[in-house]
Amino acid sequence: MIINLTKNIKVVRPEAKAVFPYSNSIYIDDDVKTVIDAGAGGRAYSDIQVEKVNLVLLSHNHFDHVNGVCFFKNAKIMAGKEEEDTYSDAHTYRKYLGITEWQNLMGDVNRKKLVRNIALPDDIPVNYGFNSVKLDGVFADGDKFDLGQIRVTAVHTPGHSEGHYAFFFEKEGILFSGDIDLAPCGPWYGASSSDVGELIESVKKLMAIKPKILVTSHRRVFDSRDHDIQKLFQQYLDIILKKEEKMLGYLSEPRTIDEISRQEFARSSAEKAPYASFWNKMMVAKHLQRLKRMGLVRELENNYYVKAEDRP
């Protein structure tokens, strides 16, 4: 489904719900026909002339944003410079995502078997996991793309992943914020390259833009005439901060990542499937990293963590 934001700027919504393995795309119908992100699925892209698209900009390297790049056969593909190598090298991709931590956090649970069982819809053109993408170039924070009448700026917003970018159409006041997605369960920061502190700063960076219209990867369009976008961003931030506060309280006694991740406050979904459990543990580890850096938590022997004593 196509939603016209302006004459040239459109949202391509997945036919099914915009959740994994799908995500929203932006289509800019201009001299340089451009698509931002490639995870809306084949049926959604049948509404635009994919062979005429000249440029694809990727917000980051996650599967649900990249899986459809092969639909755009005549387009240049570009992504954030921080993640360049993850598109061509499977090991770098897995390391960056955190899959290399699986054994550490999940022990004997067989990941390969789980991946084989991930069934994808028939308009997702590749299998789940790493798929090599040949990039034609990279962009950096502040880079501007002149597409004809439309100009869009890449905004580096690390935290969800190291090379995560939002895209801002300044003249129109339209922001595409990617996976800073205002999900009711809060932000996701389970990758090795995720960072809670950077994510908080990135959300603040987007708030400072004060968009009139906000498009995220996984939700409906927010128009500031109907929604208090600043408040929605703030509530989204508060979910991280509340979770961290509760975690710190729970660490009055030494605990392991396993123990913390089983607590209600640390579970981003009620799902008990191994993958959900793995990402939960990764997110707990990310909070512990930040709390340690801030001097609020100490790591003990045998992978126990405890709140640091109050200093006089």
Nearest-approach distance from CB 59 to Zn ion, in angstroms: 8
For the CB of residue 133, give the shortest distance to Zn ion in the complex, in Å.
15
Nearer to Zn ion, 62 or 290 (CB): 62
How crowded is the C-beta side of 220, counted as CA atoms within 13 Å?
Answer: 5
Closest C-alpha to 159, from 265, 236, 102: 236
Q: Which residue's CB is nearer to Zn ion, number 62 or number 286?
A: 62
How many residues bind Zn ion (CB under 5 A)? The answer is 2
Minimum distance from residue 160 beta carbon to Zn ion (Å): 6
Q: How far is the CB of 114 from Zn ion (least distance, A)?
A: 19
The residue (of 62 and 243) whose beta carbon lies closer to Zn ion is: 62
**Does a cis peptide bond (omega within 30 degrees of 0) precede residue 21?**
yes
Among 33, 62, 218, 267, indicate the residue that binds Zn ion (CB under 5 A). Answer: 62
From the list 18-26, 38-46, 56-64, 258-266, the region that binds Zn ion by CB under 5 A is 56-64
**CA angle at 199 for the pair 268 and 4, rounded to the nearest 5°:** 85
Q: Judge whether 267 and 280 are in contact, CB under 8 Å.
A: yes
Q: How far is the CB of 179 from Zn ion (least distance, A)?
A: 4
* Contact string (CB under 5 A) for Zn ion, positions 156-195, x = contact: -----------------------x----------------
Residues in 72-111 at the binding interface with Zn ion, rule: CB under 5 A = none
Residue 137 to residue 181: CA distance in whole angstroms:
26
Q: Would you say 62 or 255 has its CB closer to Zn ion?
A: 62
d(CA 142, CA 232): 25
CA distance 195 to 216: 20
With CB atoms as reference, the residue minimizing the distance to Zn ion is 62
Applying the rule CB under 5 A, the residues between 220 and 279 that interact with Zn ion are none
Torsion, Cα 121 167 78 66, to 10 degrees, reads: -10
Alpha carbon of 153 to those of 56, 77, 130, 289: distances in Å?
Answer: 14, 16, 28, 31
Q: Which is nearer to Zn ion, 157 or 261 (CB)?
A: 157
> Smallest gap, in angstroms, from Cβ of residue 86 to Zn ion?
12
Residue owning tokens 């699986």: 102
- For binding to Zn ion (CB under 5 A), which residues are involved? 62, 179
